[in-house]
Amino acid sequence: MPPLLHLCQWLHDSAIGTAIRESTYAFPVIETVHVLAITLLVGTVAIVDLRLLGILFKREKVSVIVGQVLPLAWSGFAIMFVSGFLLFVSEAEKSYASPAFRVKLVLLLLVGLNPIIFHSTIYRTVATWDNALVAPRQARTAAILSLTLWSATIVAGRAIAYFH
């Protein structure tokens, strides 16, 4: 048996997975929390992306926007991650076989790598372009990738429920 399938079955049969699956309200409630956390995370990330592209808060320093928005984005991420993991555990066996879920995991990996690359490369020199109305090309690419990948992640996440 593939080790990942084994892990998914173990999670699926765990006490918490079983409890969520067998409860009437747990899944839709956790799912609602998951969607609200997405609005917080993606909403704040989009503000940074739109600032880099020169669409929002053009007259504000990029670093000031990033600094203020990051705590909200991290809070959204934490809630989204925990609620998403619980949703996954409750239907881990089904998720393993779901093409939409697999696509979503790949997208999440990419959407997670994007800010790591952004912060360790072009953002290091932010002091030189902090006041620029439009950020340098590399930062704009990161912004477009972020908006595209997050939208695709939401679409893939919604599709999980449609591909059983």
Partner 1 sequence: MSILQLFRWVAHTPFSVFLRHSTWGFAVIETVHLLGLAALGGAILIVDLRLLGIGLLRQPASRIARELSPILLGSLGVMLISGVLLVMTGPLKYYDSSSFRLKMLLFFLAVAFYFSLHRSVIRSNADVAPSTSMSKIAAVVSLALWLGVGLAGRAIGFLG
Least separation, in Å, of the C-beta of 133 and partner 1? 14
- Determine the length of the chain: 164
Candidates 26, 57, 81, 94; binder of partner 1 (CB under 8 A) is 57
DSSP string, 87-120: HHHHTHHHHHH-HHHHHHHHHHHHHHHHHHHHHH
158 binds partner 1, rule: CB under 8 A: yes
Candidates 20, 46, 52, 143; binder of partner 1 (CB under 8 A) is 46
Candidates 9, 21, 54, 72; binder of partner 1 (CB under 8 A) is 72
User: Which is nearer to partner 1, 44 or 114 (by Cβ)?
Assistant: 44
Do the Cβ atoms of 21 and 90 come closer than 8 Å? yes
Candidates 14, 21, 36, 85; binder of partner 1 (CB under 8 A) is 36
DSSP letter assigned to residue 124:
G
Candidates 14, 53, 54, 69; binder of partner 1 (CB under 8 A) is 69
Calculate Rg over the CA atoms of the chain.
18
Of 91, 53, 47, nearest in space to 68 by CA: 47
Ramachandran angles phi, psi of 57, nearest 5°: 45, 45
* Binders of partner 1 in range 117-156 (CB under 8 A): 150-151, 154-155
Which span sits near partner 1 by CB under 8 A: 9-17, 38-46, 116-124, 129-137?
A: 38-46
* Pairwise CA distance, residues 58 & 85, whole Å: 37
Do the Cβ atoms of 64 and 131 come closer than 8 Å? no
- Site of interaction with partner 1 (CB under 8 A): 28, 31-32, 35-36, 38-40, 42-44, 46-47, 50, 56-57, 60, 64-65, 68-69, 71-72, 150-151, 154-155, 158-159, 162
